[in-house]
A and B are shown apart, each in its own frame.
Chain A
Amino acid sequence: MTIEIFIDILLLFMLLLTALFIQRMKNLFSAVILTGIFSLLSASLFLTMDAVDVSFTEASVGAGIATLLFLGTLAQTSSTESRPQRLPVMALVVVSLTGLMLIYGISDIPSFGDPGNPVQTYLSPRFIEVSPREIGIPNMVTSVLASYRGYDTLGEVTVIFTACVGVLLMLGRGRKRS
């Protein structure tokens, strides 16, 4: 138990350090690589919470594809950050307010792994008891994602498809057949 807490603190500290470096970095190429490292650290954190599927997704999407797309964008634009014209006071106010609201919101979230959480009292036991009989699949995450919440996943796939259509409409035309 104590070693898990130690790993959590270490990972969170490294996460914070990476975020600070991303913010300080003027070279956007390094910043993009650091966002990949940030995703990998998040994936490790999910792994310590035993959320293997989420961790897998974060590692492949966040650290893999998103970094590649950022690099592709940098190849089309510039790899050094331009100096801001004036101090972005408004942005600072918005970011601070949002951060404070999020921290305030945390107080209402039930603590991690608490047996009294609503999700632990009726939802998870139901899936654990009934899903092997109803779906017959060992990986319960898949049976929840693909069967119990099939509508939701259909929506996610549609969102990805819509993003593809949007990118094609903005960037896909004109230069394609040249």
Chain B
Amino acid sequence: MEHHLILRVIAKLMIPLILVFALYVQFHGEYSPGGGFQAGVIFAAGFILYGLIYGLDKVRQVISPVTIRITAALGVLLYAGVGIAGLLLGGQFLEYNVLASDPVHGQHLGILLIELGVGTTVASVMIMFFYVFARP
């Protein structure tokens, strides 16, 4: 895709906005619609757009398939780890109240962390699907 000048310029303008919007949806999900699932998908869409326009090799230089596999597992690990942390701190599995001194504060921390885990896994898996499906 050497000659698609308009596509390349527009993509360069759009991709940072898409990624920032994904982060907004991720970390503002407690106050507005959104959360880890939607944020992960939007984040992946930014990378996929880059890959579609600049080529699979370029986007693989940004995030290698090996890294993507590790982050996909890390997200699930983070989620389950928050559950185990609640268990170790004297609560039940996935009980966030014990994560901080104040139960409401613990809930905030727990939700933030598990949403981060969801977002990481979803984004990684979607980018991985693109890598696998788009290969010639």
Contact = CB atoms under 8 A, between A and B. Distances in A.
Chains A and B are bound partners: yes
A91 B42 CA distance: 36
Contacts of A60: 38, 41-42, 45
Interface string B4-39: 000000000000000000000000011111110110
A157 interface: yes
15 contacts: A55-B33, A60-B45, A61-B37, A65-B41, A65-B129, A69-B129, A134-B104, A146-B114, A151-B93, A157-B76, A158-B76, A160-B125, A172-B132, A175-B135, A176-B65
Closest CB pairs A-B (n = 5): A72-B133, A150-B94, A136-B104, A164-B125, A52-B33
Interface of B: 29-35, 37-38, 41-42, 44-45, 48, 65, 69, 72-73, 75-76, 79-80, 83, 93-94, 96, 103-104, 107-108, 110-111, 114-115, 117-118, 121-122, 124-126, 128-130, 132-135
Interface stretch (A3-11, A119-127, A137-145): A137-145
Given A137-B111, A142-B29, A56 B38 contact: yes
Contacts of A146: 35, 110-111, 114-115
Interface residues of A, number: 45
A55 B33 CA distance: 9
Contacts of B122: 157, 160
Contacts of A136: 104, 107-108
Interface class of chain A by DSSP: helix
Contacts of B115: 142, 146
A147 B111 contact: yes
A19 interface: no
Contacts of B135: 175
Q: Which of B42, B124, B125 has the most CB of A within 10 A?
A: B125
A146 B65 CA distance: 29
Q: Which residue of B38, B72, B117 has the most chain A CB atoms within 10 A of its CB atom?
A: B38
A17 interface: no
A163 interface: yes
B121 A168 contact: no
B41 A61 contact: yes
B27 to A, nearest CB: 12
A57 B39 CA distance: 9
Contacts of A158: 76
B23 to A, nearest CB: 14
Given A72-B134, A136-B108, A145 B45 contact: no
